[in-house]
Amino acid sequence: MLDASVVLKWFHDEGEKNLEPALELRRQFEDGELHVLAPPLLWLEILNVAARKWRWGEDKLAELAASMPDIGFEMVEPELETVARWSGGGLTAYDAAYVTVAEGAGVSLVTDDSQIIRDAPGVALALAN
């Protein structure tokens, strides 16, 4: 499972740290070697960063939004009670959604977010060491 901190690097590489491991995961996904689960909020996070941080225009954002359903990720709604438990432990509800989906599926969450790695050590794995 991947979170936005990893998938964002698939769409924009300028100034991104740990780009090579993220692109290797993309290659594995595209080659059918990796199945990606994510909560639906992944798409909102990507659109938000593309609009606010990368300053993409409306046309490019619309193209990105239209392509998202075809990428092939399996979207899984997180259980709110579990999100609440992880949020109570220090994660944002957004980050807790990723951890919840990974935990529920019995898989690791690959992330480039140090807080998730610190607060969910049994579930989260660092993108790069």
Report domain extents, the chain. Answer: 4-126
Report the mean per-residue pLDDT for the chain. Answer: 96
Contact criterion met (CB below 8 Å) for 83 and 100: yes
CATH of 4-126 given 3.40.50.1110, 1.10.20.140, 3.40.50.1010, 3.40.50.720:
3.40.50.1010
Tokens standing for 122? 């049994």
pLDDT at residue 16, rounded to an integer = 87
Segment 56-66 mean pLDDT: 96
pLDDT at 60: 96
pTM score of the predicted model:
0.93
CA–CA dist 125, 44 (Å, integer): 23
Query: Please, are residues 4 and 45 in contact by the beta-carbon 8 Å criterion?
Result: yes
Closest CA to 38 of 97, 119, 88: 97
Whole-number pLDDT of residue 15: 84
How much is the pLDDT for 13?
85
* pLDDT at residue 98, rounded to an integer: 98
Provide the angle, in degrees to the nearest 10, between the axes of the packed helices 19-30 and 4-11: 80
Q: Are 89 and 119 in contact (CB under 8 A)?
A: yes
